[in-house]
Amino acid sequence: PTTVTVPATGLVLLVGVSGSGKSTFAREHFHPTEVVSSDACRAMVSGDEGDQDATADAFDLLEHWVGIRLRRGLLTVVDATNVQQRARASLVALAKRHHVLVDALVLDVGESTAAARNEARPERDFGAHVVRRQQRDLDRSRRGLRKEGFRRVHVLGPAELAAGVTIVRER
Ligand code: GTP
Ligand code: MG
């Protein structure tokens, strides 16, 4: 299995299109309280985790929640697509403000796999164009990702994900 080391008291950004398996991966590898998801934040500010009109307020809440955890020295995993550079930049800046390390963990299963999985999800009723746009954002991000301030950028493709991943918390 692939070993992924993450900062024990820092921040981890999951990065991947809808359907790439971020929430599943987070459930499998981290404690529920370590995971801060944009869906949970949307639900808390609007009553509906699919409410796209609540996005700005949801991310306000997300950053506030993450900031408190980082100040308290707690490992925090952000479960959001994070495919746009702007979205990552504000979280990297948040980690810097709290003097903690930040890693990116890219789940890279490919657009067709992600879109096919979403087809089977009643809670994701958007069309394939949404994943296509996210995939384009991710592809644009690849080259510069390592220069955005991450300590490490881990990229897990279908083979690594299928073979299994071990998370090591590094102090
Ligand atoms: P969004 O929240 O929409 O951004 O998606 P996500 O990246 O959180 O994906 P999620 O973990 O919800 O997984 C999407 C679907 O794919 C779910 O139905 C999962 O059960 C399925 N899935 C996740 N990981 C895997 C995997 O490794 N293999 C297979 N076969 N299915 C998976
Ligand atoms: Mg999810």
ipTM above 0.95? yes
Nearest protein CA to atom 24 of ligand 1, as residue = 21
Q: Which residue has the tokens 């024990």?
A: 8
Show pLDDT as tens, one digit a residue, over the chain (171 residues): 999 999 999 999 999 999 999 999 999 999 999 999 999 999 999 999 888 899 999 999 999 999 999 999 999 999 999 999 999 999 999 999 999 999 999 999 999 999 999 999 998 988 889 999 999 999 999 999 999 999 999 999 999 999 999 999 998
81 Cβ neighbours under 8 A, 6+ residues apart: 15, 16, 17, 18, 22, 38, 87, 134
- Nearest-atom number in ligand 1 for the CA of 80 is 4
Give dist(CA 87, CA 102) in Å, integer: 14
21 Cα–ligand 2 center, Å: 7
Which ligand approaches the C-alpha of residue 29 most closely? Answer: 1
- Contact residues of ligand 1, CB 6 A cut-off: 16, 18-24, 81, 117, 121, 124, 161
What DSSP assignment string belongs to 88-131? HHHHHHHHHHTT--EEEEEE---HHHHHHHHHT-TT----HHHH
